[in-house]
Chains A and B, each alone.
Chain A
Amino acid sequence: MNNILQKITSFLVVLVLPALVIFATVHFGNKRGIPEKFEYQNRADIEKKVDHAEFEILQQEFKRPQDLTAACLSCHNKRDDELMASAHWRWERETTLPNGRGTVTIGKKNLINNFCASAESNNGSCMRCHIGYDWKDKTFDFEDPTNLDCLVCHDNTDTYKKRKGGAGMPATAENATAEFPVPDYNYVAQNVGKPLKENCGFCHFHGGGGNNVKHGDLEEAMLNCSRYVDVHMAKAGQDMSCNDCHLTERHNITGRAYSVSSENNNRAYCESCHTNTPHNDKVIDMHNHKVACQTCHIPIYAKANPTVMYWDWSVAGRTDENGNKITEYDVNHKYSYLSIKGKFVWDDNVKPDYMWFNGTADHFLYGDTISEIPVKINTLMGSYEDRDSKIWPVKIHRGKQPYDVETKEIVNVNVFAEKPGQGAFWEDLRWDTAIQIGMEYVGRYYSGQHDFVSTEMFWPLNHQVSPKEHTLKCTDCHTRSEDGRLANLAGFYLPGRDYAKGVDYTGFAIIIISLLGVVLHSVMRIVARKN
């Protein structure tokens, strides 16, 4: 009897209890948290709209769009002050650069990029996206509130399209075309409202001279896309508008584009809605200390239409035997060569590059000289050691663009003019005059000698968030494979990717020696026993 009791006790303490402990460990340990269902009501669905058709002042005949602005401001007073302080109006702002480079006034207006080099001197074309009327040259009056274009953001009819080459002026009777007619100001003015994605997209989808050229994650397809392309903006999904995330108070729009921004403030965050523990799962949520939401949730970009990855100005200017400008296309029917712009490489469904980023960026300014090649036109700051840095998905746009051989500065180029013979590159295909005019416009010295240099621009990705089924999986990063997403991001230990060779080799050696010792010892025992 005693013996049986002992056996039962042994069975319990040796097998049953340990098994229960392990079962509990596995059962409670191997569970992924269930994210809380997130409910959001779009601003457009809750905000009441004023019927502007009832206002007599908007029923008058508007000869000039400036008169319409004056009418808007007669009710919406002081809004002009907000707008005229904004970067959408000034295209520059006072900002402190990282690396102790001091405080500068920079922005889209006076920063270099590696698409068309710079906006200044190309006002007719570039300033089409200014929120004003007719910034065609330096005479533009930034202090005149009637120069503000209210409609470009507040038109809710999708009919207000400013013509190309007009420096932000809509078409007039003289230059109207079928594509860009004179706007019906009464119709538009009587149907204004909060900006729709069409309004923001008119400029932000088309930067760089075409759909999705610049950002890679912002493009026309997002006006009517599936959840696969963008979970937030999908028509069949939440159908959110830009300002649902880019919250706006008194015309101050949150959100930063680090092609022109430098400081870590006024940003739009996923966490604002989703909190920083959205997975309801400790292991996954803790990634957010070092990994941006975007890294896993934007596994690829340019999902619907390709984006430009490479733009080489050095081969621009080639013409056919008759001196006519040529256009060549790639297999996807995107232009791969343009006489006026050079060579292009497009790509779609692109895997991002990954970088440490803390929300601050440096910029290559007028007067900066080339010290490394490729030249970083903007530099995303951050490192593993930096508490504010996270791993971020980035589009890197590479290219070749002109610089002054003598001063080692990247030059402005006048590419746009309304007609040939004025020296603009797109018209006359001559670099010397185009650079000369571009540099003169901004008051910079040009030696007359140019060559081309490789440059890079870095675009942190924030849009085209994928549905959860398509996010990155653990082993997309935690892998020894050279194709791992973070294979090239050095400077820290990543489990599954990294190991110390010496430790691993020593460790395996110890295991093998132990096994050999055990085998040898047992063989000796067997031999000894037989003897």
Chain B
Amino acid sequence: MEKIKIFSRFERFWHWTQMATVILLTITGFEIHGNYTLFGFEASVRLHNAAAITFIILGIITIFWLIVTGQYKNFIPTTEKFKEQIQYYTSGIFKGASHPTKKSFGNKLNPLQRVIYLGLLILIFPVQTITGLLYMYYHYPQNPIDANGLWFAVVAHTFGAFLMVAFVIVHVYMTTTGHRLSTNIKAMISGYEEEPAEEHKTDNQPA
């Protein structure tokens, strides 16, 4: 077995902080939405608003980091091995086939992940942020732009939240599809992934 550096310290901090923030946003958000009572409506509103600010600050730092390190390239979609990746999840995985894409520090996402995560980054996150900010601060929704009582904004925000929950469910499950059940999660904790020895790579990974 060979240990390969996949995730930097910042990426791991980013991932787990974002996870906690998203969970907090989800739990409080659905309480505000009226689905259950947990913290109490007022506490949920306060926590939701505070978590939103944390989420936005983290987002700004992360965008900066992605740009200056060039790691944003990980999220650029590719058609290469796209079909193979789908075939792996729909059939290969049941036959014990090996992963069609190999992970590395410069290529940490498979073609499917690239599309899904890019969607998350440029669709769900900005929509949630903009609609959320509108609802927090745009209290005269007719002036200057008629936002029709923010109906569209809140409906979009709610739908985004449902998509987010669905993403988390599938995302957590997908962590079990690594070389072993725990391989992916371990990588997100230690930063290193254990690859089978025969697929040994010689290039030295940056820390």
Contact = CB atoms under 8 A, between A and B. Distances in A.
A23 to B, nearest CB: 10
Interface string A103-116: 00000000000000
Interface stretch (B47-55, B69-77, B120-128, B197-205): B47-55
A277 to B, nearest CB: 14
Interface string B148-171: 011100110011011101100110
Contacts of B162: 503-504, 506-508, 510-511
A493 B151 CA distance: 6
A500 B12 contact: no
Given A18-B16, A511-B166, A13 B9 contact: yes
B142 A385 contact: yes
A497 interface: yes
Given A510-B166, A518-B170, A14 B189 contact: yes
Interface of A: 6-7, 9-10, 13-15, 17-19, 21-22, 24-26, 28-32, 283, 286, 289-290, 384-385, 387, 473-475, 478-480, 491-493, 495-500, 503-504, 506-508, 510-511, 513-515, 517-518, 521-522, 524-525, 527-529
Contacts of B170: 514, 517-518
Interface string B6-30: 0001101100110111001000000
Nearest to B48: A29
Interface of B: 9-10, 12-13, 16-17, 19-21, 24, 32-34, 40-43, 45-47, 49-51, 53-54, 58, 89, 93-96, 135, 139-140, 142-143, 149-151, 154-155, 158-159, 161-163, 165-166, 169-170, 173, 176, 188-191
Given A15-B16, A495-B33, A496-B33, A507 B159 contact: yes
Contacts of B176: 522
A498 B157 CA distance: 13
Contacts of B139: 286, 289-290
Given A384-B149, A493-B150, A30 B169 contact: no
Given A14-B188, A17-B13, A503-B155, 18 more contacts: A10-B12, A14-B16, A14-B189, A18-B13, A19-B20, A24-B54, A25-B51, A283-B45, A283-B46, A473-B42, A478-B34, A491-B149, A493-B151, A495-B154, A504-B162, A507-B165, A521-B173, A528-B95
B169 A511 contact: yes
Contacts of B165: 507, 511
Contact of A497 (B20, B24, B34): B34
A518 B20 CA distance: 22
Given A499-B158, A514-B166, A480 B49 contact: no
Given A14-B12, A25-B50, A495-B32, A289 B45 contact: no
A517 B177 CA distance: 14
A146 B151 CA distance: 61
The SS class assigned to the B binding surface is helix
Contacts of B173: 518, 521-522
A14 B11 CA distance: 9
A22 B176 CA distance: 26
Name the residue among A10, A32, A497, A507 with the largest chain B CB count within 10 angstroms. Answer: A507
A29 B46 CA distance: 6
Given A474-B45, A503-B158, A14 B151 contact: no
A495 B155 CA distance: 11
B46 A30 contact: yes
Nearest to B172: A518
Given A30-B43, A283-B45, A500 B155 contact: yes
B54 A9 contact: no
A9 B161 CA distance: 32
A98 B149 CA distance: 24
Nearest to B58: A21
| 9 interchain residue pairs of minimum CB distance | A29-B50, A507-B162, A528-B94, A18-B17, A13-B13, A474-B41, A289-B139, A518-B173, A18-B16
A385 B159 CA distance: 25
A6 B96 CA distance: 32
B16 A492 contact: no
Nearest to B162: A507
Nearest to A513: B166
B193 to A, nearest CB: 13
Nearest to A283: B45
Contacts of A511: 162, 165-166, 169
Nearest to A517: B170
A43 B204 CA distance: 82
Contacts of A504: 158, 162
A472 to B, nearest CB: 12
Nearest to B13: A13
A474 to B, nearest CB: 4
A479 B140 contact: no
A514 B171 CA distance: 10
Contacts of B159: 503, 506-507
Nearest to A11: B189
A480 B34 contact: yes
Contact of B42 (A15, A19, A474, A508): A474
A475 B45 CA distance: 12
Nearest to B192: A6
B140 A22 contact: no
B46 A31 contact: yes
B123 to A, nearest CB: 15
Contacts of B89: 521
In the complex, which of the residues A22, A24, A384 has the most CB atoms of chain B within 10 Å of its own CB atom?
A: A22
A499 B34 contact: yes
B96 to A, nearest CB: 8
Nearest to B9: A13
A297 B159 CA distance: 34
A492 to B, nearest CB: 4
